[in-house]
Amino acid sequence: MFTEANTPAADIPAGDGETNGFATLGLHAALVRAVADSGYTTPTEVQGRAIPPALAGQDLRVSSSTGSGKTASFVLPALTRVLAARGDGKRREKGVVHGPRILVLTPTRELAMQVSKAASTYGTHVQGLRVATIVGGVPYGAQLKALRGPLDVLIATPGRLMDHMASGKAILANVEMLVLDEADRMLDMGFIDDIRHIAESLPQERQTVMYSATFAGHVGRLAAELLRDDAQTIDVASHTDTHENIEQRLHWADNGQHKNALLDQILSERDMEQAVVFTSTQRDADWLADRLADMGHHVASLHGGMPQGRRTRVLQGLRNKQLRVLVATDVAARGIDVPTISHVINYGLPMKAEDYVHRIGRTGRAGRNGLAITLAEAPDAGMIRRIQQFTTQQIPVATIAGLEPQKPAPRLFTQRREGGFGGGAGGDRPRGRPFNKGGFRSGGGDRPAFGGPRNGGGFKSSPRQR
């Protein structure tokens, strides 16, 4: 996938740049103008702290929460490098493959597309800017075409980039800046060897910037390998953030039937604009989306087993409000930035406590308030405890009139103190549920688009709408 911006940077007026907070960070006027065009005049904390040292060429390890503006905090310095090269007259000969100046690695296709969109948006006034996106699930032809020509910014998932490197099509000898976005997630997905191989193929004198929820354990060890000794650490928004604009609730369910009743009631409430319902498995996502469609909801599932084209249509349906409910797995939902998502519902609990923070960050965006609801059964008590330890916050327990649990709430406890709920076995994930006598829906691409019955827009709908 390839984009090019054609507006001459030299013709950009100063505009509001002198009063725009981004101008004080040392950004080029073309970038300040583009940021202002997007409606932003005041940098977020991570932008204010990360952009100046990034512009100075420092290596960075940055911890920042979802929705904090981290994408712009590395895209803007990256585009500054491109502009600097334009000013130095380092034009590349047409038709000669020199490879990208900036390389951004992301864990998922959705996040790669989000970064690509940001690069094109903020680079709209950079003359001849060329941005390519290399991800799995997309035909190779367009990607090969983008890699053949002059290229400024390459955004890629590690696996597909490795494919192009192996074929000799991806030239990385001129990379000046490497960005690892959501490094912890990439390592969780098993990309550590790919990342090391890619990094070894880059110039040693490059600048490296890593973004991760945590730099403990294997992520910290990778950072020590890839970053210079004088790398700066920026911890803007850790897992202890209060999420003041996101109300959190915990509903205890007696069993699966009770949990479904709670979910149905929550989705029927008038203040529910759009919801992302998280499941633990691809099978659960498909099964639950089918169930909600049969109840009359405009719903689709989203998970890593779906072809890219189908996933793109689902996300577009969410953005244009054709969908009211998205049922998703953790990996597929990373990078979703839709301000109208009013509810996040944890139907299946995450495998890792830090994923809870990423999940609830899908709501409460762009200054709005959000509601994050967790539906838990007794075997989930251990994960609830770990989430509360990780966030250093207790999730308030709530009930719905007429659907109060009949069983006593599990006792949750931590190593620090005994809490009000007390411990349970914890950590067990809900199993995939049968949707017919044949067993389970698969997580792959062997079903109709969005799975199951569809209306004219391709999304699941109730029998009344078919």
> pLDDT per residue over 222-255, tens digit each?
999 999 999 999 988 555 555 678 999 999 999 9
Q: How far apart are CA 201 and CA 169, in angstroms?
A: 13
pLDDT in the model for residue 413: 55
Domain 246-465 falls in which CATH fold? Rossmann fold (3.40.50)
Please state, in angstroms and rounded to a whole number, the distance separating the CA atoms of residues 309 and 342.
26
Q: What is the pLDDT of residues 54-90, one digit of tens each?
A: 999 999 999 876 667 889 999 999 999 999 887 654 4
Joined together, the tokens standing for residue 275 give: 């919801």
Cα distances (angstroms) measured from residue 450 to each of 30, 113, 298, 313, 346: 41, 20, 11, 9, 20
Q: What does pLDDT average to over the chain?
A: 81
Q: What is the residue type of 328?
A: A
Work out the angle between the directed axes of helices 109-122 and 308-319 (0-180°, nearest 10): 60
Averaged pLDDT for residues 414-421: 36
246-465 shares the fold of 2-235: yes
Residue 95 has pLDDT above 90, yes or no: no
pLDDT in tens, 268-288: 998 999 999 999 999 999 999
Of 2 and 73, which is predicted with more confidence? 73
Domain locations in the chain?
2-235, 246-465
| Backbone φ, ψ for residue 395 (5° rounding) | -85, 120
2-235: CATH superfamily: P-loop containing nucleotide triphosphate hydrolases (3.40.50.300)
In DSSP notation, 357-380 reads HHHHTTSS-TT--EEEEEEE-GGG
Q: Which residue has the tokens 């003041």?
A: 244
Residue 376 — pLDDT band, cuts 50, 70, 90?
A: very high
